[in-house]
């Protein structure tokens, strides 16, 4: 096979985010390997668009990132948008524990992380070191993770204000692959408002619900 780059460093960079055309038959060993990898990121190009494929031990995400290229390509289809938690939904009692923590900090904003241990398959909550907390701004640090542990969910509150992703949140969420969740209206009698999104490589994909088990519905 012809090399994609002569320079070994350039080749290694390309190898970290490979780009594959989709064969007319719809799949290839290279694409299958990317999809099955425990961790990785790549791009596939089809006649109907461009798809980002992201894998983490806890996550499978196939997200279209560009519409079809305006030239005839003899390629197959990129396939369906897909999001799957390899780790499963987060237990509902952790949602309640997080909400208790966020409510206890009122009127200030507060934060919590959900960590997943791939060895034991269990979830835990990590309460971050807070550098500064006010009713409208929170500065906190991401946790140091033990081997085999993954930050699945980065949660912060908007206190009694509604849940949404602010410009500051966009900056904070640009670098990591995680699910970001905001809980708002924490003083509301009919329950908090919630906003959730998958963050990866500077891309944000709004999710229809938060990643916790239970029959609650997103506001
Ligand atoms: Zn926010």
Distance 66 CA to ligand 1 centre (A): 27
Distance 81 CA to ligand 1 centre (A): 27
User: What mean pLDDT is predicted for residues 4-25?
Assistant: 95
Residue 28: Cβ-neighbour burial (10 angstroms; 0-12, 13-18, 19+): middle
Distance 13 CA to ligand 1 centre (A): 33
> How far is residue 75's CA from residue 61's CA, in Å, rounded to a whole number?
21
User: What mean pLDDT is predicted for residues 195-201?
Assistant: 95
pLDDT in tens, 113-124: 999 999 999 999
208 vs 179, more confident: 179
Whole-number pLDDT of residue 215: 60
Whole-number pLDDT of residue 140: 85
SS3 24: coil
Whole-number pLDDT of residue 139: 85
Q: By percentage, how much of the chain surpasses pLDDT 70?
A: 98
> How far is residue 47's CA from residue 76's CA, in Å, rounded to a whole number?
6
- Virtual CA dihedral for 155, 219, 90, 204, nearest 10 degrees? -60
SS3 203: strand
> pTM for this one?
0.90
Distance 166 CA to ligand 1 centre (A): 5
Distance 182 CA to ligand 1 centre (A): 6
pLDDT in tens, 35-71: 999 999 999 999 999 999 999 999 999 999 999 999 9
Residue 209 DSSP class: S
The answer to whether 152 touches 115, Cβ cutoff 8 Å, is yes
Distance 57 CA to ligand 1 centre (A): 26
Distance 121 CA to ligand 1 centre (A): 29
Distance 189 CA to ligand 1 centre (A): 21
Distance 192 CA to ligand 1 centre (A): 14
Instruction: Mark the residues whose beta carbon lies below 5 A from ion ligand 1.
Output: 166, 169
pLDDT category, 219, cuts 50, 70, 90? very low
> How far is residue 185's CA from residue 3's CA, in Å, rounded to a whole number?
55
pLDDT in tens, 203-217: 999 998 899 998 665
């Amino acid at each position: 096979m012809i090399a994609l780059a002569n320079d070994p460093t350039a080749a290694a960079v390309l190898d970290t985010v490979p780009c594959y055309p989709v064969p007319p038959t719809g799949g290839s060993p290279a694409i299958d390997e990317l999809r099955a990898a425990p961790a990785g990121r790549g791009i596939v190009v089809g006649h109907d668009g461009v798809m980002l494929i992201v894998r983490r031990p806890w996550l499978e995400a196939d997200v279209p990132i560009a519409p079809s290229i305006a030239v005839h390509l003899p390629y197959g289809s990129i396939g369906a948008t897909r999001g799957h938690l390899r780790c499963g939904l987060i237990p509902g009692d952790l949602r309640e524990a997080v909400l208790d923590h966020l409510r206890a900090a009122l009127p200030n904003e507060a934060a919590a992380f959900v960590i997943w241990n791939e060895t034991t398959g269990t979830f835990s909550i990590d309460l971050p070191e807070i550098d500064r907390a006010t009713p409208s701004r929170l500065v906190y640090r991401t946790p140091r993770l033990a081997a085999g542990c993954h930050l699945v969910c980065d949660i912060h509150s908007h206190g009694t204000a509604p849940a949404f992703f602010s410009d500051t949140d966009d900056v904070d969420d640009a670098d990591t692959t995680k699910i970001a969740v905001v809980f708002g209206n924490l003083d509301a009698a009919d329950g908090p408002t919630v906003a959730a999104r998958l963050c990866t490589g500077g891309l944000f994909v709004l999710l229809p619900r938060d990643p916790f088990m239970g029959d609650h519905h997103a506001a």
